Structure 1
Amino acid sequence: MFYGVSALGRKWSNRSPEEHVRRWGRIAYGVSILGFASHVTFFITRWIGGGHIPTSNMYEFMTFLAMAIMFAFIVVNAIYRKPLLGLFTLPLTVIIVAYAAVFPQEVQPLIPALQSIWLKVHVTTAATGEAFFAVGFAAGLMYLLRTVDFKKTSPQARREQRWVEFTLFVIVVIIAFIGSVFSFRGAGYEATFKQENVVIDDKGIESTTTETVEYSLPPIFKPFNSQDVLVEPFLGVKKPLMETPSWMKGVNAARKLNTITWSIINGAILYGLLRLVLRKRIGAAIHPLMDGIDEDDIDEISYRAIAIGYPIFMLGALIFAMIWAYIAWSRFWGWDPKEVWALITWLYYTAYLHLRLSRGWHGSKSAWLAVIGFVVVMFTLIGVNLVLVGLHSYAGV
């Protein structure tokens, strides 16, 4: 909010725009540090109360990631002193904390595989590296919103406008997902199905298992070959609209498809409402806020943040992870989905630095790489844990 006053209040302030931004930027930075200190206090007290470092499940890890992003922002902003960076970075922190709150928040005992000092070393360093990537993403998005001209009508300009707007649409969908979950959860909505699965073992013996699937959002898709146990009516609809295709394996596949569908629907509605209020594209509405911002400075901030995060991420996500894997599973590498995507993330940012330093990919190209790179990071964090099945699936509990 304070960063918003710093950026948006320039036109109505009695002071000069530079003095207004500087004054409110200092206030916003101080409040940000206070918020970070509060977050650290939460982290330490949960650690003491739970008896282990709170990074063992999705709720704990995502809240730690949000805290790490605040740390990365404080460091980068202390170097470059660009208040507008806070207007893009801090909402990202809020979204991640809100997303974390979707998951169960109870302190859970550590499973044997996590009872190691390497949990502290591996997870904290990997998340800190990803936090600097997040700041690089925020600065990259700022650069695109600063440099893309939403008034031009050439094919290239229209293409750039569409991709920037699509990036903002994805952010709106994520916000809509969080809002949907909290809204229906607050209303106490429930839907329960029993799914029958036929399993044939190696000897050809057929057996049937029954599993229960619980929804917190109204079921558009119900599990394949399932029976309704409890479906509360929503807008007069008492039955799921359709059944999930049989090729979607896993007891939770239908629930995940249902959640994604609701997120896109509500995201599209929210995006449409924003367009009605703004009467223009979201990117076009934000673009004027970038007036007076040196695009070269923003480009430099994005690069420097990623350059800081790169070695930290390499240590945490690859080197320390392989050491822990050898201790826990007697092998350095096993092609687990999480391991593969951590490697993909590292290779991506390796390519980013190579193209930036050796090929001269500055400006718009570098900004797009920073934005896409954070999408890869978020899939590594969220998609792998919640969609793919592997040795790291416990993190999605």
Structure 2
Amino acid sequence: MSLVDLSSDAFIAAFFLYCFAFLFYVIAIAGKKWSNRDPFQHEKRWGRIAFITSSLGLAAHLTFFFTRWAGSGQIPTSNMYEFMTFLGMAIMIAFTIIYAIYRKALLGMFSLPLTVIIVAYASVFPQEVQPLIPALNSIWLKVHVTTAALGEAFFAVGFAAGLMYLLRVVDFNSETKEARRSRFWVEFSLYTIIIIIGFLVAVFGFRAAGYEAQFSQEMSTVDAKGIESSKVETVDYTLPPIVKPYNSEVVHADSFLGMTDTKLEAPSWMNGVNAGRKLNTVIWSIIAGTILYGLLRLVFRKPLGAVIHPVMEGVDPDDLDEISYRAIAIGFPIFTLGALIFAMIWANIAWGRFWGWDPKEVWALISWLYYSAYLHFRLSRGWQGLRSSWLAVIGFVVILFTLVGVNLVIAGLHSYAGTN
């Protein structure tokens, strides 16, 4: 067995250990109501079991990282699959550090799902080892990507604690205008997470069914001399085509509910041969997520926030607010080093300039400015509690767009390999 094969086995083991750890954290918190023993002892016992399990998962994840590195001869952060797996591992490292400080089992019940979703999301992309292009073959790749991801991981833990704070303090019984507005946005945040899960359900569901479709699209280009030329590109779909590429013809498509083609096309202003496929994936994610959200509402017969809210009873909201702030405060200088300082040094070495207004560079700067404002409002203006938690939640949405949206939607120098 090669080291790369061993790394794949370790990755699968890490994923299942994270899933079990999440279940144990749920038992530690939600099971207190049905336990015969003292609630504090119940949470302590199952919290210890959950933390040991999540630590074993992190050990397996580290094994995956270092064996893939040794087997491929390059740090495994060079494509979308490797980066997202590293981000999942970094979130577990950040969670482990914060948990060791505060010893709050509830944090695991919200942080572990983030890791599970990101690890599952990584599995959507091609998993083959891809050789580094010369610009990436630098020590600065290692320090830039790893420190930036670690800073983002602490932001993720801050997001989890901030969301927990909102679920703890929002009044789900009051009918005042402010309470209804807060409930709406908390529910919308949960719905957004469900859409991401819906994306995974749709992709893996149709992948398991072996669905395939292919379209041909004629692409016109104009060179520097103004001479126009055209070529035919093919686009592979793994989800049934609700939207097909602009100005395309179906080559082959498996039948889904009797549908093998569609009259709906991606807008002409969406550039790139894969634009239609990406739009189609977004639509399927919303459909699958909405169906999943509707089923959960049907089962519980109440908003998801109202379902989770009772679990938060007895938790000190000030502790959650402190955890969220502390995680972001730790992550900010790490992110500053990785996403800005080390990134500019690497950009100067690779492309001969420190800054080039590439989309990823711009959004990294936006993310840094956002969290700078968060810390300013927190420390200088006294924005704590509800305001601070909303900023932590919104901030991680900005980070997710920087990580996913820029890589998958906006073309640029920083678009990861394997994103097509």
TM-score, normalised to structure 1's length? 0.99
| Partner residue in 2 for 1:314 | 336
Q: CA deviation at 1:32?
A: 1.1
Question: CA-to-partner distance for each residue in 1:327-374, whole Å, 9 max, x for gaps?
Answer: 111111111111111111000000000000000000000000000000
Q: Name the counterpart of 2:380.
A: 358
Q: Which moved more, 1:245-254 or 1:282-291?
A: 245-254
SS of the residue corresponding to residue 394 of structure 1 reads: coil
What is aligned with 1:151?
173
Q: Give the length in aligned residue pairs.
A: 397
Instruction: Determine the structure 2 residue equivalent to 1:169.
Output: 191
Contact 2:163–2:393, Cα closer than 8 Å, also in 1: yes
Measure, in 1, the Cα distance between the counterparts of 2:220 and 2:340. Answer: 39
2: distance between equivalents of 1:261 and 1:56?
Answer: 28
Q: What letter is aligned with 1:266? A: A
- Give the Cα separation in 2 of the matches to 1:382 and 1:246: 23
Q: Deviations over 1:4-30 (max 9, x none)?
A: 110111011111111111111111111
Structure-2 separation of matches of 1:353 and 1:52: 36
Whether 1:123 and 2:115 are equivalent positions in the alignment is: no
The letter of the residue matching 1:192 is Q
Would you say the 8 A contact 1:219–1:241 is kept in 2? no
Picking from 356, 370, 373, the partner of 2:395 is 373
Match of 1:323 in 2: 345
Query: Residue type of the partner of 1:316?
Result: G
Structure 1: tracts of 5 or more residues without a match: none
CA deviation digits over 1:108-156, x for unaligned, max 9? 1111111001111100000000000000000000000000011111111
1:258 maps to 2:280: yes
Match of 1:229 in 2: 251
Which residues of 2 match residues 38-77 of structure 1 at below 5 A? 38-77=60-99
Q: Distance in 2 between matches of 1:227 and 1:144?
A: 48
1:198-347 correspondence to structure 2 within 5 Å: 198-347=220-369
Query: 1:291-333: per-residue Cα shift (whole Å, max 9, x none)?
Result: 1100000000000000000000000000000111111111111
Cα distance in 2, alignment partners of residues 75 and 208 from structure 1? 55
Which residue is equivalent to 2:182?
Answer: 160
The AA in structure 1 aligned to 2:175 is: T
Q: Secondary structure at the match of 1:222?
A: coil
Match of residue 123 from structure 2: 101
- The CA RMSD measured in Å over matched residues stands at 0.9
User: Per-residue deviation at 1:220?
Assistant: 0.5
Distance 2:355 2:222 in 1: 31
- Following TM superposition, where does structure 1 have runs of at least 4 consecutive aligned residues deviating by more than 4 angstroms? none
Q: Which runs of 5+ in 2 are unaligned?
A: 1-22
Q: How many angstroms does 1:244 deviate by?
A: 1.6
